[in-house]
Amino acid sequence: MRWSNTFIPTLRDDPADAEAVSHKLLVRAGLIRQLSAGIYSILPLGWRVCRKIETIVRDEMDKMGAQEFRLPALHPAELWQRSGRWDVMGDELFRLKDRRGAEMCLGMTHEEVFASIASEVRSYRALPQIWYQLQTKFRDEPRPKSGLLRVREFVMKDSYSLDLDRAGLDHAFQLHFDAYRRIFERCGLAPLAVEASSGAMGGSESIEFMVTSDAGEDWVASCGACGYAANLEKATSQLAEVADAAGLAAPEEFATPGVRTIEDLVRFEGGAAAEHQIKTLVYVLDAAGREAPGPPSHQIALVLLRGDHALSEQKLRDGTGAVQARPAQPEEIRAALGASAGSLGAVGVAGIRIVADAALEGRCGMTTGANKDGFHLRGVDVARDVRVDAWLDLREVRAGEACPACGAALGVAKSIEVGHIFKLGTRYTEAMGALVQDEAGNSTPIVMGSYGIGIGRVMASIAETHHDANGIIWPVTVAPFEVVISVLNPGEVEPQEAGERLYDALRQQGIDVVLDLRDERPGVKFKDADLVGIPYRLVVGPRGLAEKKVEWKRRRDGLTRELPLDRAAETVAEAIFEERR
């Protein structure tokens, strides 16, 4: 390609509405343009990067024996109604009607479609299968942000494993785990594989691939000592024992005028330290759970935590089976408990579901609200005074707490989710009637797994982690071009011809090269090459040409060498072959 007739609209200024580094750089370097909130056009340079990422993904998928499909993006409502997700997915599912008024939606993922196709698999002998596609997903995110990191329309590699049993699923899951490792590594990323919540997807086990970055939106707890890593939605830690004072014979009410928060009560004369308080939160859960179809019903629940602990809403959802969980409104709280936030407690409460964090188990001498505005109870013995329906892990882990595996201090870092793999089980295959006959002739639902990688998010994550003050620094494996030849005096015959010869020679070696013959000042070409992030630059200018040499510069670290003109193509090609892997 020639730079002059390739559409590379670089910008000098950061776009005003961009915050994330990758957003600024991808726009400035001319890879993407925004069309609407969370909707982006991929420009030629961006598309080159995406295609290289896709090629790596396809290569690794094909290596595990997966077969590529192309499924529709437009789905009939009926499909989603069958799995129950039509009601569960809420506003995130783009819904529309066709001309006859039939309800449809745009696919946010493809478990339903693949499972319905899988219903044509009738015999265990046809298993296992791994099916995949690269295709556009639509999710009406409440808040798109950070350029390509969180969007409403994006391309995903999604794959689905079909197996006769759990052991088969475990194997397919492991194949994906290993393939994902290689894919990200080849893209220049080193994501952490972390335990994650499966959320509304359902299933028994899931692992996210997380790239540490401030632009990320998930928090990951990880242990530098033993390698334990988990999304904060799932992470646990070891807690130090708290010594309780001898309890009272019964809870004792005391006046606490003006006390509204845990902190207030810590400071209050006759109050209690936070770890000796019970935090009482009121939540509204949809009780239907994820198995039952139809619109969910709602239920008030009390959520109890140690005073100094924070609730993880995802753990609450996971622990209770709720799909939605939201804090109750003040009126709902008053109706349920007869008091307002600040004086709430679970002692003596009947007829309301009570879930408690495991850290409260066996505690006594605790202080909590009395369900009477301006009053609290002290001397509460949890086992004796509170009717707990379920003990759950509800607490959000904090940095510095002890690793559950080895006891070392956990770190917590912001991360971008670039991939997620799920062991789904039989939820979708049962719903879609994807049953096979096993060896004994019994009909049994296919066991399914699902696995996703966001292509655009991978591209943005690379930009997010590979850049400097001058622009992006693409790894050779995904770079829009591997080499740029900057000809400094394009108006003169000799440099131009030298540039063209180099260009032809590199093309012949199979190198992805762009020739910059634009009538621009050298500085402009250098700035553009750096901004766009091309890994290698060859400079053909009068200075070197006088000695039959060209300058070879590596973007990554600025390493510069003089190469003899007649050997340059060969030398550069060798270096690139080395880095392609």
Question: What residues line the site for RNA (CB under 7 A)?
Answer: 9-20, 34, 36-38, 89, 92, 108-109, 137, 139, 141-146, 150, 198-201, 206, 217, 313-314, 317, 324-326, 420, 422, 452, 470, 488-491, 519-524, 526-528, 530-531, 539, 541-545, 551, 553
Minimum separation from the CB atom of position 98 to RNA (A): 22
- If the CB atoms of residues 382 and 416 are measured against RNA, the closer one turns out to be 416
Minimum separation from the CB atom of position 526 to RNA (A): 3
- If the CB atoms of residues 38 and 475 are measured against RNA, the closer one turns out to be 38
**Cα 287 to Cα 225, 298, 335, 354, 430, distances in angstroms:** 40, 6, 19, 13, 22
Minimum separation from the CB atom of position 530 to RNA (A): 4
- If the CB atoms of residues 206 and 256 are measured against RNA, the closer one turns out to be 206
Q: Kindly write down the DSSP assignment for every residue of 136-177, as one continuous string.
A: EEE---SS-BTGGGB-SEEEEEEEEEEESSHHHHHHHHHHHH
Gap between the terminal Cα atoms of the chain: 23
Minimum separation from the CB atom of position 142 to RNA (A): 4
In 48-191, DSSP assigns E strands to 67-68, 74-76, 95-97, 103-106, 129-138, 153-163
Minimum separation from the CB atom of position 496 to RNA (A): 12
- If the CB atoms of residues 107 and 369 are measured against RNA, the closer one turns out to be 107
Residue 251: both structure tokens together: 């809870």
Minimum separation from the CB atom of position 576 to RNA (A): 19
Residues 32, 29: Cα–Cα separation, whole Å:
8
Minimum separation from the CB atom of position 120 to RNA (A): 26
- If the CB atoms of residues 378 and 427 are measured against RNA, the closer one turns out to be 427
Are the C-beta atoms of 463 and 472 separated by less than 8 Å?
yes
Single-letter amino acid code for the residue at 13? D
Q: Number of helices (H) and strands (E) in the chain: give both, helices first.
A: 16, 31
- If the CB atoms of residues 158 and 308 are measured against RNA, the closer one turns out to be 158
* SS3 state at 445: strand
Residue 157: both structure tokens together: 């590699």
Are the C-beta atoms of 314 and 208 separated by less than 8 Å?
no
In 347-504, DSSP assigns E strands to 353-357, 366-369, 375-380, 390-392, 410-425, 435-437, 443-445, 447-454, 467-468, 471-472, 483-487
Minimum separation from the CB atom of position 67 to RNA (A): 22
Q: Kindly write down the DSSP assignment for every residue of 457-491, as one continuous string.
A: HHHHHHHHHSEETTEE---TTT-S-SEEEEES-TT
Residues 456, 28: Cα–Cα separation, whole Å:
16
Residue 442 CB contacts under 8 Å (≥ 6 apart), including other chains = none
- If the CB atoms of residues 401 and 528 are measured against RNA, the closer one turns out to be 528
Minimum separation from the CB atom of position 115 to RNA (A): 16
- If the CB atoms of residues 212 and 367 are measured against RNA, the closer one turns out to be 212
- If the CB atoms of residues 313 and 401 are measured against RNA, the closer one turns out to be 313
Minimum separation from the CB atom of position 211 to RNA (A): 16
- If the CB atoms of residues 45 and 164 are measured against RNA, the closer one turns out to be 45
Residue 525 CB contacts under 8 Å (≥ 6 apart), including other chains = 486, 488, 516, 518
